[in-house]
Amino acid sequence: MENEDVVSVFLKAGILSDKSAIDYVTDNDIDAEDIAEKMLESKMYFATVEVIESVLAEKDADGETRVEIKHAGKKSIAKDIDGSVRISSKHEEEQKTKTITDFVAYFSDRYEKIKNILVSHSDVKNPISINRLEGKANERDVSVIGIISKMDVSKNGHRILEVEDSTGSMTAIIMKDKNVGEDSLILDEIVAFKGGVSNGTLFVDAIVFPEIPVVNNADRKVDDPVSSVFISDIHIGSNEYLQKVEDKFIGWLKGGDNGAGDVKYICIAGDTVDGVGIYPGQKADLKIQDIYAQYRAFEEFIERIPEHIEIVIIPGNHDAVRLAEPQPAFGKDLMPNITGFNNVHLGPNPCRVELHGIDGRQGVNVLMYHGYSFTRTIDAVPTLRVNGMDKPEYVMTELLRKRHLAPMYGSTALMPSGDDPHVISRVPDIFHTGDLHSFALKSYRGVQLISSSTFQGQTAFMDRVGHQSNPGKVTRVRLDSMRPSVLDLVN
């Protein structure tokens, strides 16, 4: 136990104490709850070193007084098991001014990757490039894979789309009330359209989304009895930072109860600090107004975590790395103290990480994304607007169906390189996000969706952007069974 945990136990029992007594209990790893119980039995309400020793004192067979110290805590299973973290996403490209050529390469890579996903679907047979359909008077049973560049609705309620591929563009019409998934379409996403062509116009009968296949998570479980914890949106530095949530979290990890003993990994999905200058008037909302002091406080939080736990940290939109995605991993400028820790792994956003791939065996594949694109994606899709930002599982599911983390251009700032890291080429075992401060835990087609809540209470800024804080929810997944559980540190 830490000093603050001992104090908490004593105060809960109605016992006051001096600092030397607290240090004595902590330094000797004495069970504070056992001490409190024995003191109450003896009607003692102020703890000193002498009082604690007298409570523990017993007579042995020879009449000599001895002190029996009952140690606290449970044995950590994870402490004796080797861990493995493998980050496959790097994105450390050279900083340079981006040109239209870079954006063309970015969207071309996206198109080719998602096209390859679509052609593997049994519903998409022999797709035809758009230039081969130009001038066609009549063509039935056509499949076209394209990116939606324009969307409109006619006065009769029909959907009129402009669809492009690398060879050209054409008009696609979805008749009113066709109900083939048109309400989920957004600009810039890539789908397959099936239908008939008349005078160069495609009349859509069906839409095929890239979608993820149904996967069997049982095949992904590991052999060792270890768990991973998923949290996000710590927001250290805010006036509304919930220090009690941090203290309870650390106390849980160190105490070994309620599954903490098998925790081998912690994944943190961004917004480690509240930042500076993120929105107008933020200075008044900050308890720590210096950005480097905020990161030092975050490092102190990380330093409190037992060192046998492997920690993966990615940035978010409140962090002091570039806003444009992919965001690079944190460097020594922001986290000079923990960057060299063997158990700290700093990744980009988005990040693909494999946990516990030991001795050549496949581990659990986690897709981490902070989720900055979520707000604009929710606003663009009518069905997502109905469910709102307090149900992030819906937007997470939609992005898996679209196989892209930010399908609509403008939903997040971009730093295009030769490839598009937002494409979900490989289906993850766990999809971990944050940003919305709303908690969600759901399985979709065998993929475990985790939207982590926050360590921050409700703020005026969150009111303005429509986020509703649901703090203190910690998700733990047992990697040998892929079974999740939730620890509520607030309620």
- Residue type for position 209: F
Q: In whole angstroms, what is the distance from residue 208 CA to residue 184 CA?
A: 11
What average pLDDT score do residues 49-71 get?
Answer: 59
What pLDDT, on the 0 to 100 scale, is given for residue 219? Answer: 66
pLDDT tens for 233-290 read 999 999 999 999 999 999 999 988 888 999 999 999 999 999 999 989 999 999 999 9
d(CA 307, CA 280): 38
Token pair for 155: 């006065």
Beta-bridge mates of residue 442:
449
For residues 314 and 169, what is the distance between their CA atoms, to the nearest angstrom? 38
Class of domain 79-97+213-488: alpha beta
Task: Give exposure, 419-442, as e/b (b: 16+ Cβ within 10 Å).
Answer: bbbbbbeebbbbbbbbbbbbbbbb
Residue 220 pLDDT > 80? no
Residue 167 near residue 130, CB atoms below 8 Å: yes
pLDDT confidence of residue 462: 76
Which helix (H) or strand (E) segment holds residue 1: the answer is: none
Q: Which CATH number fits domain 122-208: 2.40.50.1010, 3.40.50.1820, 3.40.50.300, 1.10.10.10?
A: 2.40.50.1010
Q: Residue 43 pLDDT > 80, yes or no?
A: no
Q: Residue 218: what pLDDT? A: 63
Taking only the tens place, the pLDDT of each residue in 426-446 is: 999 999 999 999 999 999 999
The residue type at 210: P
Residue 6 CA to residue 21 CA, distance in Å, equals 10
What residues are paired with 163 via a beta bridge?
Answer: 148, 170
| Residue 339 in this model has a pLDDT that exceeds 50 | yes
The answer to whether residue 100 scores a pLDDT higher than 70 is yes
pLDDT at 282: 92
Q: What is the pLDDT of residue 65?
A: 41
User: Band of the pLDDT at 98, cuts 50, 70, 90?
Assistant: confident
Fill in the amino acid letter for 135: G
Distance CA 88, CA 309 (A): 20
DSSP 319: S
Arithmetic mean of pLDDT, 473-491? 93
What pLDDT, on the 0 to 100 scale, is given for residue 387?
84
